Amino acid sequence: MNDFTDLYWRLDATTSTNEKLAALRDFFAAATPADAACGLAVLCGGRQLRTVSSTQLREWAAATTGLPHWLVEECYAHVGDLAETLALLLPEPAEDAVAGTTPGLAEVMQTTIHDLRGADDDRKREVVTAVWRRLASRERLVWHKLLTGGLRVGVSRTLVARALAEVAGVDPAVMAHRLMGDAVADGVAFARLLAPEPSAADDRRPYPFFLASPLDRSDVEGVAAALGSAMDWQAEWKWDGMRAQIVRRGDDATVWSRGEELMNEAFPEIVAAGSSLPAGTVLDGELLAVRDGRLLGFAALSKRAGRRRVTKKILADIPCSFVAYDLLEAEGLDLRDRPLTDRRRMLADLVPRSFADVLVPGGVNDPGPFLSPLVPGDSWPTLAARRAESRDRGVEGLMLKRRESPYAAGRTKGDWWKWKIEPLEIDAVLLYAQAGHGRRAGLHSDYTLGVWHDGKLVTVAKAYSGLADSEIVEVDRIVRATTIEKHGPVRICTPTLVFQLAFEGVSHSTRHKSGVAVRFPRIVRWRRDKQPADAGSLADLERMIAAS
């Protein structure tokens, strides 16, 4: 598995897309078809078999190294990555054990991972410790990740498709489409993937997405000055979902993300709904998680989007709908140069059901496609009043689109604006901190924050990001210096740090001691100018609940 180990470390060592692309290209060009197919499955995050538990690995590593179990755990807490921890802890193999050619990735995965399925613990232990005696540290890390099913590399499917497209000499969107559907199971399938001639079935490309720019004005006068008459603008809600295109061509439908990633596997019901459209249709719109007439928000939706295979339970728990707001192609004709008003009229003919009818209490779960309702209003004060309803409606604000505008490519400024509402904010005090993972392994970067209630600080939110890397390092040092107690990876600190916390909504909940929970909390800035005594209170949050 030398080829794949080299690929892993090359990808790990760089943040440059070009270098990642080159590393992928080199791997696919050099590996045997069987190893390439196997590597492709791993890179694309296909379901990895987990035949050995991490608990077993830790126990066997403790036994092999002669270290007490608690020390292995402390090392893991420090390193933040089990595969790496074990790779570093285990003794280096004897020179003669690594000599000679090493087997390829496909063979290693078969003999040391897949074959362990159903084996008893003694057999598993025998295989694992034999591998430990054979692999050097850098190879061991990669193998551990394969073994525990935790191998993640910083490459998107799109980048993998680009690399394969370059190796095969075909268009990247063609390759993305070929990668759809059945996994590339073996060397024969991999060879087929690289066929140089595109077939008719290959044409499923989405159009480049037109992106809106943020409108940083809250005042009606400012908006009027920037955009002119409200009559020239079409207003819609800005949904808290995922931008997507449904491409209905040939015999099937494909769903593409804004990053031009194919999402058919994550959203099968949307694909099925899209298949009912006439051939030669492309819709632009939003994927939304909506259940019983209630929007579930982006966090719920991303649970769907992150999966390669969705279970029936997930489909039932997080049903999704597609809300169309633009028509880019009809009857095989590219409509992008037509004015928005024309496209909207044709869209309404094609997709007559309004999403407004779904958003009622007890509404049916239906993938759609639905028509994104217009927000009526012929003056900026009227639209501003509608925008103020956004939080109650679970949307992020308004979208403003110039009625005469064509569908441009990329972020062409001037015709599409997102007019988002201001987030709610409160100053909160850092109470607990926990070390992060990956790039932030070993750094205390997950914070639990509290506000005042009856002279005490009560927790209200857990927030991850928003600080610059250098600030995270600084906070980490303060956390270590002010730790009162350690509970596993969580440190309880003397309250000294105040952060400005932004969030999208606040409601009663039993999740935190305070009895309230905030939606989509994130740290906006570190209030170095404030002391814990200056932080907000539960009463402030209760007032926000009352006002909403």
Partner 1 sequence: MRDLLEVTESGLYCPQGDFYVDPWRRVGRAIITHAHGDHARGGCERYLCAAAGMHVMRTRLGNSVAIDTLRDGESISINGVNVSLHPAGHVLGSAQVRVEYRGVTWVVTGDYKLQADPTCAAFRPVECDVFITESTFGLPVYRWQEPGAIAAEINAWWRANRDAGRTSVLLAYALGKAQRLAAMVDPSIGPIVAHGAVMKLVEAYRASGVRLPSIDRVPPRARRVGDGRALVIAPPSVLGSSWLRLFGESSVAMASGWMLLRGVRRRRGFERGFVVSDHADFPGLMRAIEASRASRVLVTHGFTDTLARLLRDRDYDADVLATRFTGEGEPDAPEADDATNETVADGEPAADEVEA
Please give the residue ranges that form the binding site for partner 1 (CB under 8 A). 12-13, 15, 65, 67-68, 70-71, 74-75, 78-81, 84-85, 88-89, 438-443, 469-470, 473, 476-477, 480
Q: How far is the CB of 445 from partner 1 (least distance, A)?
A: 10
Q: How far is the CB of 173 from partner 1 (least distance, A)?
A: 31
Closer CB to partner 1, 32 or 54, in the complex: 54
Q: How far is the CB of 450 from partner 1 (least distance, A)?
A: 26
Closer CB to partner 1, 34 or 62, in the complex: 62
Closer CB to partner 1, 88 or 356, in the complex: 88
- Run of H or E including 398: strand 397-402
Closer CB to partner 1, 284 or 476, in the complex: 476
Q: How far is the CB of 146 from partner 1 (least distance, A)?
A: 16
The C-alpha atoms of residue 219 and residue 217 are separated, in whole angstroms, by: 6
Query: In this structure, what is the dihedral angle of CA atoms 145, 148, 153, 157, given to the nearest 10 degrees?
Result: 140
Q: How far is the CB of 94 from partner 1 (least distance, A)?
A: 15
Q: How far is the CB of 490 from partner 1 (least distance, A)?
A: 16
Q: How far is the CB of 155 from partner 1 (least distance, A)?
A: 15
CB count in 10 Å sphere of residue 259: 11
Q: How far is the CB of 300 from partner 1 (least distance, A)?
A: 30
* CA 150 vs CA 49, 147, 475: distances in Å: 10, 8, 29
Longest Cα–Cα distance in the chain: 81
The C-alpha atoms of residue 287 and residue 139 are separated, in whole angstroms, by: 41
Q: What is the DSSP letter of 413?
A: T
Closer CB to partner 1, 76 or 380, in the complex: 76
How many Å separate Cα 174 from the centre of its chain? 24
Closest of 39, 41, 52 to residue 7, by C-alpha: 39
Nearest 5°: phi and psi at 434? Answer: -135, 145
Nearest 5°: phi and psi at 120? Answer: -80, 170
User: Which residues have C-beta within 8 Å of that of residue 466, sequence separation ≥ 6?
Assistant: 522, 523, 524, 525
Closest of 88, 137, 140 to residue 112, by C-alpha: 140
Closer CB to partner 1, 84 or 396, in the complex: 84
Structure tokens at 207: 């159009």
Q: How far is the CB of 488 from partner 1 (least distance, A)?
A: 14
Closer CB to partner 1, 75 or 163, in the complex: 75
Residues 33, 37, 40: CA angle, nearest 5 degrees: 135
Closer CB to partner 1, 92 or 349, in the complex: 92
SS3 state at 276: coil
Say how many residues make up the chain. 548
Structure tokens at 176: 């993305």
Closer CB to partner 1, 80 or 369, in the complex: 80
Closer CB to partner 1, 74 or 334, in the complex: 74
User: Which residues have C-beta within 8 Å of that of residue 467, sequence separation ≥ 6?
Assistant: 445, 475, 523, 525, 526
Q: How far is the CB of 308 from partner 1 (least distance, A)?
A: 25
Q: Can you tell me which residue has the tokens 């990633």?
A: 261
